[in-house]
Amino acid sequence: MEALLEKEGNVESWNDERMDELSRRVDAGFEKAAAKVELTAVKDEMNLRFGEVDKRFDQVDNRFNKIDAQLLHIHDRLDRMNNTLLIGLFGLIAAVIANGIWG
């Protein structure tokens, strides 16, 4: 009970400056709460956009995989063409040598 009487005395001695300070503190608290809500909204929006970016990267990965497969196919064809040219060249050299020997 004595504590309540002490508090009552403190409450009566409040002045306008202390009320203004309390008002500023309450306003600051509401501003912080509003900022947290706004930051949460921004964070959610960023997560959505990063999700879209991840999807785009997946599409790019798929395109690179297709290009890689096409390059491997081209590489195989060039190897076969190279082998054909070498066989033809050796055949031509053998024909020239044979013509020179038995010619």
Whole-number pLDDT of residue 85: 97
The residues near 42 (Cβ < 8 Å, ≥ 6 apart) are: none
**Does the pTM exceed 0.85?**
no
* 34-57 pLDDT per residue, tens: 777 777 888 888 888 888 989 999
